[in-house]
């Protein structure tokens, strides 16, 4: 493919190799104040952002709004436990592809059943089990990326070189975007079906304006 060279693909694949999750043992076993939580999240996840020097992983406003909208159990005496941090990590990964309502739908059963040792299975157990799949998934993603990259390189072969480079890049981005769109749609369908099962029991999701409140706060500031 001639977007620039195959160096582009190699760079993408190397970036996937650098993806890692926050290990539970890297989270202190003591309760933390909010400033300590935001500092911890920045130190562990900042390198995974698009602009590590400028992007904020979490802000105080975000954390407060997540608690107000029942995505995050409230702190105890203004302190957050290790379990709070684990929930915040889930929220961090979810919020790029899911609405606040959908995040609440998937996390509320988790916090109700497993937060603060309410079951033999702990929140840390669940976190470890889910993230243990990461390494295998990265390899699947790398293979899929190579296939999409190769397919995009077969497009627009009859065009001039400069035009072809951009159109092949466009093709690659379109395939990636379609993949994201389909998976996002699947997530929404799964959560809608789950919510529909709960609806007769009176466990409906938040009102429609909950997403805006959680993201922007009562004053409309971005979270």
Of residues 139, 140, 172, 141, the one with CA closest to residue 1:
172
What percent of the chain lies above the pLDDT cut of 90?
Answer: 61
Rounded mean pLDDT of 197-219?
52
Rounded mean pLDDT of 111-121?
85
- pLDDT of 87 > 70? The answer is yes
Let me know: does 147 contact 138? Beta carbons within 8 Å: no
CA separation, residue 96 to residues 7, 19, 93, 100, 195 (Å): 27, 16, 6, 10, 21
Domain ranges of the chain: 7-216
Rounded mean pLDDT of 48-63?
84
Helix (H) or strand (E) holding 84: helix 82-94
Q: What pTM does this model have?
A: 0.81
Q: What is the DSSP string of 173-189?
A: HHHHHHHHHHHHHHHHH
Helix (H) or strand (E) holding 126: helix 123-131
pLDDT level of residue 47 (50, 70, 90 thresholds):
confident
Note the pLDDT of residue 50.
78
Q: Between helices 123-131 and 100-114, what is the axis angle to 10°?
A: 130
What are 141-187's pLDDT values in tens digits? 999 999 999 999 999 999 998 899 899 999 999 999 999 999 999 99
- pLDDT of 202 > 90? The answer is no
Rounded mean pLDDT of 127-136?
88
pLDDT level of residue 13 (50, 70, 90 thresholds):
confident
* Beta-bridge partners for 79: 33, 76
Q: How far apart are CA 5 and CA 76, in angstroms?
A: 53
pLDDT level of residue 72 (50, 70, 90 thresholds):
very high
């Amino acid at each position: 493919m001639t977007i620039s060279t195959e160096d582009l693909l190699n760079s993408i694949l190397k970036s996937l190799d650098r993806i890692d999750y926050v290990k539970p043992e890297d989270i202190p076993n003591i309760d933390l104040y909010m400033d300590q939580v935001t500092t911890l999240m920045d130190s562990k996840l900042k390198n995974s952002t698009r602009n590590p020097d400028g992007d904020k992983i979490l802000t105080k406003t975000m954390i407060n709004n997540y608690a107000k909208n029942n995505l995050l159990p409230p702190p105890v005496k203004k302190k957050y436990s290790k379990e709070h941090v684990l929930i915040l990590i889930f929220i961090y990964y979810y919020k790029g592809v899911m609405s606040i309502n959908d995040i609440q739908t998937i996390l509320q059963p988790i916090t109700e059943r497993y937060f603060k040792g309410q079951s033999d299975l702990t929140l840390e157990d669940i976190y470890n089990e889910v993230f243990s799949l990461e390494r295998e998934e990265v390899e699947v993603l790398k293979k899929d990326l190579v296939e999409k990259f190769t397919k995009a390189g077969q497009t627009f072969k009859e065009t001039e070189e400069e035009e072809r480079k951009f159109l092949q890049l466009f093709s690659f981005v379109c395939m990636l975007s379609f993949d994201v769109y389909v998976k996002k749609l699947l997530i929404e369908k799964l959560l809608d079906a789950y919510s529909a099962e709960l609806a007769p029991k009176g466990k409906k999701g938040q009102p429609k304006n909950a997403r805006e409140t959680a993201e922007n706060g009562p004053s409309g500031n971005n979270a």
